[in-house]
Structure 1
Amino acid sequence: MSLVHLPRRTVPFLNRTKLRRDLAALVRRRRSEGRFCGIVLHGLTGSGCFSLAAEFGHEHRELFDRYVEIDAEKPDGQPASLGDMLGQALGWLQVDPRELPDADQERLDMFRRKAAGLRLLVVVRDATDAAVLRRMLRDVGAETTVVVTSPNRLSMVADGYTVFAVAPLPPREARELLADTLGPAADELPAGVLDELAALCGGHPLTLKILAARLATEEYPVADTLARLRSSVGELGQEEEAERLTRAIGVLVEGLSPELTEAYGALALLPGPDFCERAAASTVDSPDVRALLGGLVARNLLVRDGERYSFHPFVRADARRRIGLEAGRAATRRFVRWYLDQAVPMDAGLSGRWREGPVFRKFDETGRPVSRAAALAWFEAEWRAVAESVRLAHQAGEYEVAAQLCVAVFKYLHMHRHIDAWLDSHRYGLRAARQLGDHGLIMQVSSQLGSGCLAAGRLDEAEEAFARSLEAATTADKPNGVQSALEWQGKIRAERDDVAGALALYDESERVIDDAGERIAPGQRDRMRALLALHRARALLRARRWADAERHAAAAVEYFAAQDERENHAKARYEFGRAIAGAGRAADAIEPFTAAAALFGEDGLRRPQARTLERLADALDALGRAEEAAQRRGQARDLRRELGDPPTGE
């Protein structure tokens, strides 16, 4: 097996030769002893800890089978949650986001199973919480190597980690990096100037590259830059390296044109880890955003990777300090509105559900359809930015935008099980809807928040959210919202094994559909009834009422078979098969289970496909078709192994 998906290599990469040798020797020694190898690389932001980890991975790729990269810090500087970090890790191990478990412990168990037997190189970037790392990376196996980069000297020696300090580059290597980045222009500098410039930058690779870009533009006399650096950082001692880095970058950014300065500050406010040119254009008030982006890239203040742009965290922090309060609010208002405008048609490409809010009503009247593939691709790149924009819109007083962003991003977060972002964004969105006093938005955002709480196993919080949604829907006289809230409350009753209570709520929900008449669109009415039939079938199966469950599942199958909703069609077929098998008609259950397994497979939903194959095997066994049953169980076992699930029965 060969190592794939290594991080981008820093070129040129200078120094750290002995440290890289020490890291490789440590990995080999720990492996020979059958012990886990943990490494902490700590140093100032911009000192090259991550570049060192990447170079080590490239240089010693023969030691590893797979690479896993985890960002322990979100773009807003807050620590990532355990669930989010595990989701990232499982993504590198090729787990479909739709197949991620909701609970942290289940994700942790899946990660350990997927990691078993692999020589993993796990790089955790910008970690600050040792307790989270202990829980996540304990018991991952002796073949795994974990490299943690941190601005802090994390106390993890007792957990089997060896701590290495990553110091700034020594004078010779610092001068070499500056000269290499500067190119032929370095030869034209007076003797000793290059050495002094490198020394004033403290040997920090990030600062050296920004300095080289500044000198290469020929807009700033070398003598002027040297004098400014001497004045700002010349008196600082070695123990003040963090302050040196801050001041040096401050000096090197001085003198940008007013247009570049404005763009530098405004673009740093954009949410998410990176952004596209169109997002930049929504943020910066300029007719030539591409030129501004190019100018910042040329000065090493912005990194371009294909069609996406990103800031180094330290540079982002400097840029945000340079934009005024009002200018920052204006930029934020522009980009949160842009993200909403973009997300509305993309969300429509994922689902035909009803949506509350003026932008959705306008889209329903005049919007153009977007393909599901295009919608998924867009959200894959932008979902973090959209989810984070909810908070930013709320803080900027754009309450209508914040609440509607929740509506727009919900389906993608639900599909891909981004539970933390789902709950965080919807709490801000609900506050925004309440600030507006818009009962329609309170109704929908509360319902979406409730479904997130239900996914996280927080039944009491979910019940409270759906009660709030029902109250708002009743106040707003929104029959679709009343129907939905009652349906969700029924699902909670079913989760609590209160089948009678669940069925009563489903009946009440259907009466709302009947009474609403044309106030609910015909297509929506039919879909609501089909979903209620599916939920009734599941509740009745809990009570072992096979005939009633079969009747309702059949109604759901009939509807979804005629729609472009493959997942719901598969679910309906599966429950139909369960009802028939439960009634003792194994032969009749073969067809619905076979069809459901195929539909789940076509939609890439391997876990429900495995579960269906296991049900199919049970039916085949009941008919004495042992060889076919064994074949289906083998297929299910292979799927569960790919997913990192425990074998059936564990």
Structure 2
Amino acid sequence: MSANAIPPWANPFVPREPVMNDMAAHVRWCREHGHPSSMYVYGLEGLGVSCLVTQFWKENRALVDSPIIWLSGRHADGSPVPLGELAGRALRQVGVPDTDQGATAAEKIDSLHRVWREMTRLLVVDDLDSSAQILPFVPVDAPGMVIVATSSFRRRDLEQHEFAAFTPDLLSTEEARALFVARLGDTAASLDPALVDELADYCGRLPLLIKVLAAQIRDRPPMAHSLLRELQKSGLLLLKLGDEKRMRTFLDTTYENLGDVEKFAYRLLGFLPAAHFGVEAAAAVLDAEPDEVYLVLEKLTELNLLTSPDRHQARYAFHPVLRDDARARAESTDAPDIRKRAVTAWITWYLRETLPRARKVSNRWWVRPVTDLLSDLARDLPEFTRPEALDWLELEGDNVIAAVRAAHGAQLHDLVWPLCVAVWKYLHLHGLYDAWIDTHLLGLASARAVESRLGIMQMTSQLGAVHLELREFGRARECFAESLDIAREQQHVLGEQSALEWLGKIAAAEGDFGTALTAYRQSWEVTVAATEEQISPTDRARVFSILRLQQARAEFGAGDFQRARECAEQAVGDFDANPGETDNRAKARLALGRAHLALGQANDAIAVFDKALQLFTEEGVDKQQAITSQLLGDAYRAVHQPNTAVASYKNALDYYVRTGKAEATTVAATIAELET
């Protein structure tokens, strides 16, 4: 199966028309009966199952005429991708940004079902780990959808849920030879046809092995006889379906023809849990110069032992079969200290690269051990912009998550929780809540293992934030209560102020606005009492501004609209004094407009909402634009301007429909009422 979240293309593709025709017939039958098409395709690793699915889509555009939605069911380390993360990635591929998605897996799935009711799309969960990863994706009222899973073995659990099963045969002798000749290129003409046939036979009619063998011979005809002798010496007969030992023996021949440098790189890079990697990361692992490593990686790619999913950025990846082979060779060849040194170098490289970018993206406070690491590890890195930092995190984020898991597994506890601090903003921005909890539980365990009280404080704070996002209020409160206790014990004033503010946000989310206001007041008092060394004047001013905004929201929730308006007006003034706070300038106006509307001051609300909408538009925050447009509609309705209200509601409705929000039903009903 594919190791990447990118549909794999076979070049050339060996025709497998019968199975693709059967799949197309199944889709047509489902369409005729008015329900979505559910199926799965299975087969031995290396048989080309994933390529078959993408080729099916390519050749059946009359059935599925939109871009494919491709999701990988497993991480590079073999762990399953949680449903919430899969659903989030699917939403992103249909145009719903992470910032506009719901928090829970159920909310994301519900949005997906709403979005694709009228769509004709193919969704693939490649290398399925469990049926729970795909069953929720099947909609009941979207007959245009085609849902496909791939697996290396038959899945009767899916068949029980009416998934049709398909599997390609091994290549025929003629197909195997045709693929082998195609991959040999011009070299095939210089080889005896009988020799070509015999070599192709040794590949057991498996496309992966045919490509690996052909890559060694291409442009080197003498290698053909040498490889044949080695295969004959090994006693390897035709590969049998499912016989992994025979596949390993075949790969032995390929491996033994590598140079020592290529062998070492193959083993150690395959040992890492990286989804894909660049030259710099590989150079850190191999302790070599990037230019030298680049040549090694290109050599392995030429031999089909690596793939290059993105040639423009010089990214490399392992096919899962080859990753398993490389890992097994590393474990049998390289001493534990060599393997641990490689993993440590890889993890340290990611910590070094992530910290300064995370600092550029987030202004959240960090405890001193992490700020010291930032100074020590990243002092020689070049400057980069916030967009550049975000682009890097988008490319490398999955590997940073994998580095957290690998560091914990290697008991590198002093690296685990700082990595969590560094990757937090990426997890937050993309709504990767399962990975957020998973990594931070490991980070918390590691902080406890090394008895880092400040590390525990930071981890419980960041864990509490995700539990609040998921509305798991009890867990969130436990986390922030522990964070608050340690902050007071360690006299970490920013940590104390932050924990109190978050405890207030939890209470407000539960509807306990009195407790929320008390917590905000305590946070305010801590900030007032802090010295400039504890909280800088700049940070102090920003804390006050944010607390005023939180107070405005809580007062509104408590029903004191006058007090909410006063707090919101102060927050607007504070944030307007800082041109870099566009998002908060808009949010403060949103709170102010709500207060005006509740006080019956609809015209004032319209003016404030208009400005908020302008600011949210500048920031490109679609979700907040929709919320503001809906509130504008309420305000125009209050001043008896139904036509203008309808225009605002329609702006909101467009977003709600596009992102699959349940609010679409309510807004559509309001529009219908006003237009009658």
Settle same-fold status: TM greater than 0.5.
yes
Amino acid at match of 1:353: R
Residues 375 and 479 from structure 1, CA distance in 2 versus in 1: closer, same or farther, beyond 3 angstroms?
Answer: same
Alignment check: 8 A CA contact 1:169 1:203 kept: yes
Cα deviations across residues 142-172 of structure 1 (Å, max 9, x unaligned)? Answer: 1111222111211223433221122221111
TM-score normalised according to structure 2 size: 0.91
For 1:6 and 1:240, how far apart are their aligned partners in 2?
Answer: 26
Residue 587 (structure 1) aligns with: 603
Residues 113 and 138 from structure 1, CA distance in 2 versus in 1: closer, same or farther, beyond 3 angstroms?
Answer: closer
Residue 186 (structure 1) aligns with: 188
Most deviating of 434-443 and 310-319: 434-443
Residue 16 (structure 1) aligns with: 16
Cα deviations across residues 236-280 of structure 1 (Å, max 9, x unaligned)? Answer: 773543333233223322232121111112222444421222222
Residues 239 and 416 from structure 1, CA distance in 2 versus in 1: closer, same or farther, beyond 3 angstroms?
Answer: closer
Residue 97 (structure 1) aligns with: 98
Residues 168 and 566 from structure 1, CA distance in 2 versus in 1: closer, same or farther, beyond 3 angstroms?
Answer: farther
Alignment of 1:597-612 (within 5 A): 597-612=613-628
For 1:508 and 1:233, how far apart are their aligned partners in 2?
Answer: 77
Out of 282, 291, 295, the residue aligned to residue 291 of structure 1 is 295
For 2:97 and 2:466, how far apart are their aligned partners in 1?
Answer: 19
Out of 476, 483, 487, the residue aligned to residue 490 of structure 2 is 476
For 2:412 and 2:175, how far apart are their aligned partners in 1?
Answer: 50
Alignment of 1:73-88 (within 5 A): 73-88=74-89
Q: Secondary structure at the match of 1:404?
A: helix
Alignment check: 8 A CA contact 1:44 1:242 kept: no
Most deviating of 152-161 and 403-412: 152-161
Most deviating of 361-370 and 584-593: 361-370
Q: Does 1:356 align with 2:363?
A: no
Alignment of 1:19-98 (within 5 A): 19-66=19-66, 67-98=68-99
Amino acid at match of 2:448: R
Q: Secondary structure at the match of 1:275?
A: coil
Alignment check: 8 A CA contact 2:216 2:223 kept: no
Out of 561, 567, 573, the residue aligned to residue 552 of structure 1 is 567
RMSD (Å), alpha carbons: 2.2
For 1:509 and 1:6, how far apart are their aligned partners in 2?
Answer: 47
Alignment of 1:276-287 (within 5 A): 276-287=278-289
For 2:233 and 2:101, how far apart are their aligned partners in 1?
Answer: 54
Out of 154, 159, 164, the residue aligned to residue 161 of structure 2 is 159
Give the superposition deviation at 1:587: 1.2
Cα deviations across residues 8-49 of structure 1 (Å, max 9, x unaligned)? Answer: 531111131222222223222322232322221110111101
Amino acid at match of 1:297: T
Residue 422 (structure 1) aligns with: 436
Residues 526 and 615 from structure 1, CA distance in 2 versus in 1: closer, same or farther, beyond 3 angstroms?
Answer: same
Most deviating of 318-327 and 383-392: 318-327
Out of 248, 270, 285, the residue aligned to residue 250 of structure 2 is 248
Give the superposition deviation at 1:362: 6.2
Alignment check: 8 A CA contact 1:345 1:370 kept: no
Out of 358, 361, 365, the residue aligned to residue 347 of structure 1 is 358
Cα deviations across residues 410-434 of structure 1 (Å, max 9, x unaligned)? Answer: 1121122111111111111111222
Residue 329 (structure 2) aligns with: 322
Out of 646, 666, 670, the residue aligned to residue 649 of structure 1 is 666
Out of 306, 320, 327, the residue aligned to residue 313 of structure 1 is 320
Sequence identity percentage: 34
Give the superposition deviation at 1:523: 1.0
Residue 543 (structure 2) aligns with: 528
For 2:553 and 2:497, how far apart are their aligned partners in 1?
Answer: 18
Residues 214 and 230 from structure 1, CA distance in 2 versus in 1: closer, same or farther, beyond 3 angstroms?
Answer: same
Q: Does 1:499 align with 2:499?
A: no
For 1:641 and 1:233, how far apart are their aligned partners in 2?
Answer: 62
Cα deviations across residues 89-143 of structure 1 (Å, max 9, x unaligned)? Answer: 1111011111111111111110011111111111221113123322222426211
Give the superposition deviation at 1:192: 2.8
Alignment check: 8 A CA contact 2:417 2:459 kept: yes
For 2:218 and 2:226, how far apart are their aligned partners in 1?
Answer: 14
Give the superposition deviation at 1:370: 3.3
For 2:149 and 2:408, how far apart are their aligned partners in 1?
Answer: 34
Alignment check: 8 A CA contact 2:71 2:86 kept: yes
Residue 203 (structure 2) aligns with: 201
Cα deviations across residues 479-536 of structure 1 (Å, max 9, x unaligned)? Answer: 1011111111111111222111111111111111122121211111111111111111
Give the superposition deviation at 1:292: 0.9
Alignment check: 8 A CA contact 2:36 2:142 kept: yes
Alignment check: 8 A CA contact 1:617 1:633 kept: yes
For 1:572 and 1:405, how far apart are their aligned partners in 2?
Answer: 33
Q: Secondary structure at the match of 2:185?
A: helix
Residue 632 (structure 1) aligns with: 648
Amino acid at match of 1:589: A
Q: Secondary structure at the match of 1:69?
A: strand
Alignment of 1:374-385 (within 5 A): 374-385=388-399
Q: Does 1:370 align with 2:384?
A: yes
Alignment check: 8 A CA contact 2:40 2:166 kept: yes
Alignment check: 8 A CA contact 1:536 1:549 kept: yes
Q: Secondary structure at the match of 2:46?
A: coil
For 2:405 and 2:274, how far apart are their aligned partners in 1?
Answer: 12
Q: Secondary structure at the match of 1:321?
A: helix
Give the superposition deviation at 1:604: 2.5
Most deviating of 600-609 and 340-349: 600-609
Give the superposition deviation at 1:301: 0.8
Most deviating of 115-124 and 432-441: 432-441
Residue 459 (structure 1) aligns with: 473
For 2:445 and 2:234, how far apart are their aligned partners in 1?
Answer: 45
Give the superposition deviation at 1:234: 2.7
Most deviating of 423-432 and 270-279: 270-279
Residues 58 and 453 from structure 1, CA distance in 2 versus in 1: closer, same or farther, beyond 3 angstroms?
Answer: same
Q: Structure 1: 5+ residue runs without aligned partners? A: none
Alignment check: 8 A CA contact 2:187 2:220 kept: no
Q: Secondary structure at the match of 1:322?
A: helix
Q: Secondary structure at the match of 1:124?
A: strand
Most deviating of 46-55 and 162-171: 162-171
Give the superposition deviation at 1:478: 0.7
Most deviating of 140-149 and 334-343: 140-149
Q: Does 1:613 align with 2:629?
A: yes
Alignment check: 8 A CA contact 1:233 1:248 kept: no
For 2:527 and 2:284, how far apart are their aligned partners in 1?
Answer: 42
Alignment check: 8 A CA contact 2:217 2:224 kept: yes
Q: Structure 2: 5+ residue runs without aligned partners? A: 668-676
Residues 72 and 563 from structure 1, CA distance in 2 versus in 1: closer, same or farther, beyond 3 angstroms?
Answer: same
Amino acid at match of 1:376: L
Most deviating of 389-398 and 217-226: 217-226
Residue 338 (structure 1) aligns with: 349
Alignment of 1:562-577 (within 5 A): 562-577=578-593
Give the superposition deviation at 1:229: 2.9
Residues 347 and 233 from structure 1, CA distance in 2 versus in 1: closer, same or farther, beyond 3 angstroms?
Answer: farther
Alignment check: 8 A CA contact 2:583 2:619 kept: yes
Residues 25 and 86 from structure 1, CA distance in 2 versus in 1: closer, same or farther, beyond 3 angstroms?
Answer: same
For 1:462 and 1:233, how far apart are their aligned partners in 2?
Answer: 61
Alignment check: 8 A CA contact 1:6 1:58 kept: no
The number of residue pairs the alignment matches comes to 646
Give the superposition deviation at 1:233: 6.1
Most deviating of 128-137 and 52-61: 128-137
**Larger relative contact order (C-alpha < 8 A, sep ≥ 6)?**
2
Give the superposition deviation at 1:225: 2.4
For 1:175 and 1:565, how far apart are their aligned partners in 2?
Answer: 64
